[in-house]
Amino acid sequence: MKLFSGSANPILSQKVADKLGVPLSKAEIVRFENSEIRIHIEEEVKNEDCYVIQPTANPSDTHLMELFFFCDALRRQEAKKVFAIIPYFGYARQDVQHRPGECVSANVIIRFLESIGFYKVYVINLHDEATEGVFSIPFKNIDAFPILAEEIRKYIGTVTTETVAVVSPDHGGVERARKFGDDLFGHTEHSISVVEKKRDLAHIHKSVALDLYGDVKGRTAILVDDMITSGGTLMHAAQLCLDRGATRVLTAVIHHDFGPKAPEQLQASAIEKIFTTDTIALKEEQKFEKLSEVSVAKLISEVVS
């Protein structure tokens, strides 16, 4: 078995390699002055199972092309099977035509992954589980929420349904929040609260929290989401929870796919703590006090070994 890292999150790749007790395999990634990329595999891979770890986060297109070229280069060297480990699957939110005339980008990327010759794709908490049905090659969606639930349990201490309210910041996340509640409480006998979010499809990164269904009064509210970009969804939902009597707001979010202003605004927001993972590399300027990162390396190493 050979484990390769794209350039998107080498720290995570190294952690996975350490967990597996294998070295990262050698490949040269060249970026030309005109932005084109060249991948050169620098190891013997003939008849080997080869894994490529590459979250396709910002800059998504560059990271996607790198991933595609890795697969092509490995197949040309007669690798037995090539597996894509995509901890964060960029474009996953563009999985339907939200308005007539739009592309369905997630579908296009899946077609590319298949036709280039990946044998199997692993992702972590894909935006919508139903997207799995679009893949016609083996696919595995790894759930990292249990490790976030564990972190939050450690942070809060005692977790009961009387003292904690699990909240979905939009209708689309209800099932996700319910499953997180199962992990957090350790049983399924709990209700969740839901924020009614309205997105302005004509303006990117604009949404409002219109209403909150459920009871958060006197409890710690935990907002559960798959990703943060502008931070608007979580910040508006957090304020609504506090307005409705929550004592404090924590968040459990898998992917920090931050827009440029998000770190500063989240640090200044009403949210007490943001628990997240390292599916996406965190740049130095994106670090802030309220952000707490836990690694998904162990989860990845378990599915690979």
- Positions in the binding site for ligand R5P (CB under 6 A): 93, 169-170, 172-173, 205, 207, 225-233
Q: Are 266 and 290 in contact (CB under 8 A)?
A: yes
Q: Are 43 and 25 in contact (CB under 8 A)?
A: yes
Catalytic, 283? Answer no
Task: Report the nearest approach of ligand R5P to the CB of residue 263 (Å).
Answer: 12
The nearer residue to ligand R5P, 90 or 169, going by C-beta atoms, is 169
Task: Report the nearest approach of ligand R5P to the CB of residue 228 (Å).
Answer: 4
Paired with 199 in beta bridges are 207
3-state secondary structure 149-189: HHHHHHHHCCCCCCCEEEEECCHHHHHHHHHHHHHHHCCCC
DSSP string, 98-115: SSTT---HHHHHHHHHHH
The nearer residue to ligand R5P, 1 or 204, going by C-beta atoms, is 204
Comparing CA positions, the residue from 260, 259, 268 lying closest to residue 288 is 268
Q: Which of 2, 15, 179, 197 is catalytic?
A: 197
Task: Report the nearest approach of ligand R5P to the CB of residue 135 (Å).
Answer: 20
CA distances from 73 to 38, 46, 120, 145, 272 (A): 10, 12, 16, 34, 46
Task: Report the nearest approach of ligand R5P to the CB of residue 50 (Å).
Answer: 32
- In Å, the largest CA–CA distance within the chain is 61
The nearer residue to ligand R5P, 83 or 91, going by C-beta atoms, is 91
Comparing CA positions, the residue from 2, 14, 18, 296 lying closest to residue 150 is 296
Task: Report the nearest approach of ligand R5P to the CB of residue 262 (Å).
Answer: 7
The nearer residue to ligand R5P, 28 or 175, going by C-beta atoms, is 175
Comparing CA positions, the residue from 98, 15, 1 lying closest to residue 278 is 15
Q: Which helix (H) or strand (E) holds 73?
A: helix 60-76
How far apart are the C-alpha atoms of 84 and 71, rounded to whole Å?
8
Query: Which residues does the annotation mark as catalytic?
Result: 197
